[in-house]
Every structure is written in C-alpha cells, then in structure tokens.
Structure 1
Amino acid sequence: MKAELAQIAQAYEAASRYPSFSQPVFSKEALEQFMPETPSAVSLPFPREDGRPGVRISLSLDRYQYFPADTLLWKLDLQDPEGRKSWQARLSVRALSGAVLIPEQAVADVVQGVLSLPEPQPGVTEYQLQVRIESEGERYFISAPFRLNPAVARINGLSWAHQDGPWLNMALSTDVFLPGYYFLSANLYNAMNGEPVVHLEAEQRLAAGSTTMTLKAHGSALRARGDAGPYVLKDIRLIRGAEEGEPEDLAGQPPGAPVPVPGFALDTWDDTPWEDPEAAERTEFLKKLAGFSQEP
C-alpha cells in the first residue's frame, strides 16, 4: 500500500506541473489514453462439430462514430485451415431492436467494401453491421457495432492561433446545431515528423449558431516536448453532454482532415511556470499518505 501511494503521488505531481487541459505527450504509447475512439472490430471462432479445424472470421470498421452521408469502410478476414476459395456474403445494417436501416444486399467482394450511411431512425443511435456468410453449404454470422447520429455541431477548421503570454491559443470555427454544454478534445502533433506533442481539452456552454471553441496549449508543455512546430490538430472529438431528461451524450462532427497550426520559437514564450495551488495541496496530501501509511 505504501509503495502504491508513493507511485500515485509521484504520477500526480508530474502531471500537475502542467494544466490538466494541456498535458505533454512524451511517447506514442502514452498517446493511447488520449485517443478519442477505437474502431469497431470483432473476431469470432466457428468450430466444426466433426472435429475438422474450425473457421475464424473477423469483421472490422474504419471508425465507431459515424454521421449521415458518411462512408463506412468494412473489412472481412476469413481464415479457414482448409483453404476454401468460394465465399458469398450478404450485408445489412440494423438497429439493436432489429429495425432495418439498410436492407440486406449481396456483395461482390467479400474482403472489403463501403456503405453510404443514410439518416438514422429517429431517436436511434446504436446500430450493427450484420454479415451473413456462406461457403460450401456452411453458414456463418458476424456483426460489428457502431454509432450513427446527426451531428449536433460541426468543427470547420482553425479560425486563428496566436501567442498570449505563456499560452498558444487555437480558436476552432464551430457551427452549433443543438445548444448545450460541449466537451472538446484534440491532440497536437508536430506537422513534420508526426510526433505527438500535447493533449488538449476545453469545455463550455454553446448557443446555436456559428461560434468558436478555443484550445489552449501552455508554453511549459511545449517546452517540455522541445517542439516549436509547426503543428497539426488531430484526433478531434466534440461531445455534447446529455441534459436532464436526455438519454445520452451526442457527438459533434470533427473536420475531415488534420487542422494546421503555426509554430512559434520556444524562446519567445513567456516562461511563467504553471501553478495550481489546489494541485500542490493534493500532492502534499498524497505524499503524507505515502509516508505515514501502514501496511495492513
């Protein structure tokens, strides 16, 4: 217990050197905790009753969150130790209730393909891509889940970016279709080598209409990474939190490409360190716990 508390205290102290909404990312491994979503993927074994080696079928989608008129890219991986070449597949999209969004259709290529997504059914956001496969009299079924909802807001790109004391402020042009409280996150990368630099977050209540949301990178986080840019914003995620009586959070639509952000020489930043008195108090509290805790 004592050693675990000491590790927690050290990790919290290291993170609190920077704003919680502007955290440096020191490796691609550390970046994983800041990725907005994991593409939908399912892999299932299909054993044979007669003892012959079974089949494994995998179905993957290029994303988990989609919007109307998006193109869904799907891929099938068919592994059969017997090496059969003849496969037929039929696809459909259904809500979890079973209601049909895209009727079943045969596909010419059973390895990969695309679907153009229509408007979702009213009030329904959870769907499955269902695949029925047949080969030499044997039938298989596999499905992969995804979300589909009309965008409650849309991020168009960068309105402006400039230095302000120790901050790099980046205002993103945003069209809001449904007012509410929004949460924005993104990862800032070096535009030249693709290395992650800083994870950024912002939140605010937005009225309907055209506005901006501003991400703020602290100079201490940029200096910690030794990266003066230029940059790009990627992995952008915009979520409207559910209001009282609403069943779920809803996604806003990110831009379709990385957002370029200009860089600034590191020696031009105000070198004011980030200070959070409450974080310092919590760090001291954790250290005391680590120092005086007794093993059970």
Structure 2
Amino acid sequence: MNKKVSLIGVPMDLGQGRRGVDMGPSAIRYAHVIERLEKLDYDVIDLGDLGIPNPQDRARNGENLKCLDEVAQVNTELAERVHTIVEEGRFPLVLGGDHSIAIGTLAGVAKHKKNLGVIWYDAHADINTGETSPSGNIHGMSLAVGLGYGHERLTQILGYSPKIKPEHVVIIGARDLDEGEKQLIKKLGIKVFTMHEIDRLGMTYVMEEAIKHVSNGTDGVHLSLDLDGLDPHDAPGVGTPVRGGISYRESHLAMEILAEADILTSAEFVEVNPILDHGNTTANVAVALLGSLFGEKLL
C-alpha cells in the first residue's frame, strides 16, 4: 500500500436523517487514527475538514432529495480535493460524515482510474434513487450515483458519468435492502455477499472471492466502509443500525485479508455518530480496523 496518506474529514450529516454524524471525523481523530498509522510507518498528512453549509430546511424537495444543493456542493469540493491527493501520488483516506460523501470520493478517485473496483462494506446497498428512496436521504443513493443513476447534479460531479461499472462492485454485509434497490442490483448484476453468505461460507471465502472480483480488469480498488456494516453490539454509534451484522473479529479478518492482498488505492470510513455511541466505542472500532487495513499485525 502507498505509504503516503492524505487524510481529509467531511463532517456532514446532510445526507441522512439523524444528527450527530457530523462529529464522526473528530471522534476518529480523537481515537488516535493518525498516531496509529504513523506507528505503522505511514507518512500521514491531515488536511483538516471541509466546510459544511447549514441549510435552514432539511425537508424533501420535489425530487425526493433532501439537501440536494448542499450535498452536491460538498461532494464537488471533496471530489476536487481527492483528485488533487491522487495527483500528488498519495493515498486518499476520507473520514465521514454520512455515506453520501462517497459520491465525492468516488468522483475524485475514478478521475484517475478507467476501471475502478469498489468494495462496499455496508448493511445497506445505498443504491436508491429519488424515485425509489423511501426517505429522500442521499446517503442511501451514493453507490447508485457512482454507477450513473440519480440526479445529474450528483452524477455529473467533475463532468463525467458513470464513475464506476457494476461488474467492478462488490457489496459485503448487506441485510437491509429496499425493493427498488433489489431490482436495480438484479438488473445490473452486482455481486452481493449478504449476511447469509458470510454466515454460510465464512468471511475468509467471502473476502477472497470479493478481492478476485474487484481485481479482475480493474486498475485500482476503493474501500467504502460504513460502520453500520458491523453488528450494533460492536459498533453502536451509527445512525442506521441493523441487527445481525458482521462481527468485530470478522471485520478485522476482512481488513487483514485486504491488507495482505495489497490492492487498495483509496478508502473511506463513514457514519460514526458519537451522539449515539458509548464512550467513543465506534470510533475506536474504526481506528482498530484501519490499523488492520494498513498492515498492523499482532506479531
């Protein structure tokens, strides 16, 4: 993995319905993420946090897209910053914030990759559109936007669409899908490892197959990890918890296998909500998983 890491925080909660996730980047920093990576001999530059607008009205607009203007603005700035990080030959590590920030991360990274592979580690597929979303929350649409589905204010960030191809995407840990998402997943033929597959086949098999899938015909791999992919028992501080998730130990194993594969070119960790947490547990989990992802070993 690239030993030069540029970290950027996106303290945004405009893409979802529960306040507090805007404090996620601060919580992860407080859990000593920079010190953890520096101890592993990474050259870490902390670029600070993006500025986030504060809209007066968070209600749905006529297109069922809450805070569209603000989410588009922040993701455009994030895409430009990530684009610059990659140009400088550094590894972009983005801390959220809600999962709508993946729109900007993918736009900035994929600008440099003709065929970017994506591992979407999440309880949800985030592949809704304004037409299918029950809530209008854009954090549930970010993968769809990357694939070219959704409002053009979002899909056309940095002037191109789609950012990624469905055959290069793997979703891991899914256990809460809306009907519209199920239909689009089937239509596009996206590879999904639900909790059923993880329970039945084991995390080692799932990760090995996922790595094969996202490495086939790609020129880079991005990890988008939502902490609600883990079971709420292990990661309580998330806005949309779903019982029956991936365990803490299974997640460490997944990160360790990814580290050994040495395929990642960018990553983001999102949806840490300190207001809903207990003693910063979820941010500490995020940092521990980042340690494994970046090559930390017991011996």
Q: Considering the TM-score relative to the shorter chain, is it more than 0.5?
A: no
Structure with the larger strand share: 1
- From the CA coordinates, give the structure whose radius of gyration is larger: 1
Structure with the larger helix share: 2
**TM-score normalized by structure 2?**
0.22
